[in-house]
A and B are shown apart, each in its own frame.
Chain A
């Protein structure tokens, strides 16, 4: 069964450093998403991406965040200058277009720890 994969599983960084979180969506999917989950809290939407551009972004997704699909398979989330409050699990998801096929499938997540 195809699945979304994410790397690394755990990233530790110093405050102010840049991080890039990587995702490989399901191969025939065209919509891509990033979410985050702070420890003990619910999952929060960050951004949706389609046709090489951002469709929607939340208030959390400020100028420190960017997304990119650098090639035909990867989808990345970059945080330019990490803050302590960026520590969270980051989940990538993908979905296929179509009336009955827009279910978002999530990856296992990357745990980001900012020190």
Chain B
């Protein structure tokens, strides 16, 4: 049974780096790992996507170890507006079914 787990919540202060890890034990071998941000009553918003090693864009970095059974989203310097729920999304091995992680509620404090 595929499980995609994340810490339930995290608190951080403005300007700090935040790392959120997702564990995905049954990931598809040829699919990407994607991270999303979700604000209340809105759709998930794309942050970053990667396949292996490290990916960086203008808002985040994504670290993926060689076994791809986990991934870590890194937000370099969070601000109050980064308070949201963060989800990883992976494809279930051998399928086109997608599994969201359990979600991490990040609260950024002033």
Residues of A within 8 A of B (CB): 4, 33, 35, 42-45, 48, 50, 55-56, 58, 89, 91, 102-109, 111
Contact = CB atoms under 8 A, between A and B. Distances in A.
Interface of B: 31-32, 34, 36, 38, 41-46, 49, 87, 89, 95-103
B97 A45 contact: yes
B43 A103 contact: no
B34 A104 contact: yes
B32 to A, nearest CB: 6
A43 B41 contact: no
B95 A56 contact: yes
Contacts of B102: 42
Most chain A CB atoms below 10 A, which of B32, B49, B97, B101: B97
B46 A89 contact: no
Contacts of A35: 100
